[in-house]
Amino acid sequence: MSMNSINTNMSAMVALQSLNRTSDELAAVQKRVSTGLRVSDAKDDGAAFAVAERIRGDMAAATSANQQLGGMKGLLAVTSAALQNVSTSLIKLRELTLKMADAAISPNQLTQYQAQAKEITNNIKSFISDASYNGNNILKDPAALTMNVVSNGSGGFYTFNTYKAITNIYNNISLAGAYTKAAAQSAMTAGGKLNLAVNNTLMQLNNFGSYANYIDGQITYNKAIIDAQESGMGALVDADLAKESARLQALQIRQQLGTQALGIANQSPQILLGLFKG
CA separation for the pair 35, 205 (Å, rounded): 51
Q: Is the pTM of this model over 0.85?
A: no
CA separation for the pair 134, 227 (Å, rounded): 29
Share of the chain above pLDDT 90, in %: 58
Average pLDDT value for residue range 61-87: 95
CA atoms within 13 A on the CB side of 250: 8
Q: Tens digit of pLDDT for each residue in 193-208?
A: 999 999 999 999 999 9
Most confident by average pLDDT, 1-5, 139-143, 172-176, 266-270: 172-176
Sorting pLDDT into bands at 50, 70 and 90, what band is 1? very low
